[in-house]
A = this chain, B = another copy of it.
């Protein structure tokens, strides 16, 4: 059944109206009155709808039933990534969206090389959120992960500690294997994964994270790039919790 992603759409009171490029797409598919389709509202629900009227640039449908989007994982994972240079941020947004992140938050910390000012970051966020929307549509997500930025490391810690399982990917020092850390992940409904920028974390940053109760984790003997680490950690979490 054709599936349309209509974030902020016009769904309510048993009816949904489709405009613009989606309406055009329905015309291209030669769908007609009585045909069924799925409208995902971008907030985790899929609405099964039947076309009731087709007019110029507008398709009216009747909602037959609503259910949670089947592609959404059972746990809401926030990816917190030290803001990287260049296209690496695009990559993190796209791949973490595909792999099931609920939210992506970039933060500044000691070893960040890219330090855009507030105005420049606002522009970048528009771009990142567009990438997330495209990746969400393409991968069949039920939500569009929100991409945002916090100005410092403390802000990132604050977000992480508010989840039930918060993990800090640390490339050195005392830490536990990710697999051990994830043993406690079954049944949790919120999690956070923190990864560093190009140069990794300062020791004091790891100490701070541990002090507030975030688990310091190792992803094994190979050093992953800053744009690979969040995707690998998220994949392991989804795998371990039966969401892959």
Contacts and interface: CB of A to CB of B under 8 A. Distances in A.
Nearest to A244: B220
Task: Determine which residue in A71, A99, A239 has the highest number of CB atoms from chain B within 10 A of its CB, and name it.
Answer: A239
Interface stretch (A21-29, A51-59, A148-156, A224-232): A224-232
A95 interface: yes
Contacts of A235: 231-232, 235-236, 239
A178 interface: yes
Interface residues of A, number: 32
Interface in A97-152: 98-100, 138-141
B244 A99 contact: no
A114 B180 CA distance: 42
B138 A178 contact: no
Interface in A195-228: 219-225, 228
B95 A179 contact: no
Given A138-B223, A222-B98, A225-B98, A179 B236 contact: no
Contacts of A232: 99, 231, 235, 244
Q: Count this chain's copies in the assembly.
A: 2
Given A221-B71, A223-B139, A242 B98 contact: no
Contact of A140 (B94, B139, B141, B222): B222
Contact of A178 (B71, B95, B221, B244): B244
Given A232-B235, A239-B240, A244-B236, A222 B179 contact: no
A128 B221 CA distance: 23
B70 A239 contact: no
A228 B100 CA distance: 12
A220 B139 CA distance: 11
A99 B139 contact: no
A243 interface: yes
A136 B88 CA distance: 19
